[in-house]
């Protein structure tokens, strides 16, 4: 017996990943202390392949928070602090 339903295509698995990612993004960063138990409680899928794909999206959503993106030519308070101040006389 297989762990994948017949209608579980690559596209369907990508949507399952996206659903997990969206669910993870809804949690506050402080809620990320125990990601695996938080994900397991929210995971709506039954088959191991689908559960695994959803959980991958869920955990990846927390990993994506570690990096901030600054568009070219823009500044943030983080990279402003790194620039040396120039005094004009």
Q: Can you give the pTM of this predicted structure?
A: 0.63
Range of the domain at 15: 10-82
Q: How far is 53 from 44, CA to CA, in rounded Å?
A: 11
As a residue count, the chain comes to 89
Number of domains in the chain: 1
Tell me if 2 is assigned to some domain: no
Q: What is the pLDDT of residues 1-36, one digit of tens each?
A: 445 566 679 999 999 999 999 999 888 766 556 788
pLDDT on residue 1 = 41
Q: What span, in angstroms and rounded, lies between the C-alpha atoms of 60 and 52?
A: 12
In this structure, is residue 5 part of a structural domain? no
Asked if 32 and 69 touch (Cβ cutoff 8 Å), the reply is: no
- Inside any domain, residue 87: no
In tens, the pLDDT along 27-62 reads: 876 655 678 888 899 999 999 999 999 999 999 988
In a domain, 1, yes or no: no
Rounded to whole angstroms, the Cα distance separating 85 from 89 reads 13
């Amino acid at each position: 017996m297989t762990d994948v339903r017949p209608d579980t295509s690559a596209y369907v698995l990508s949507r399952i990943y996206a659903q997990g990612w969206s669910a993870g993004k809804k949690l506050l960063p402080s809620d990320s202390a125990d990601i695996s138990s938080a994900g397991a409680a929210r995971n709506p899928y039954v088959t191991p392949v689908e559960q695994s794909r959803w959980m991958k999206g869920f955990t990846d959503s927390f990993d994506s928070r570690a990096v901030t993106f600054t568009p070219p030519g823009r500044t943030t308070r983080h990279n402003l602090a790194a620039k040396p101040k120039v005094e004009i006389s």
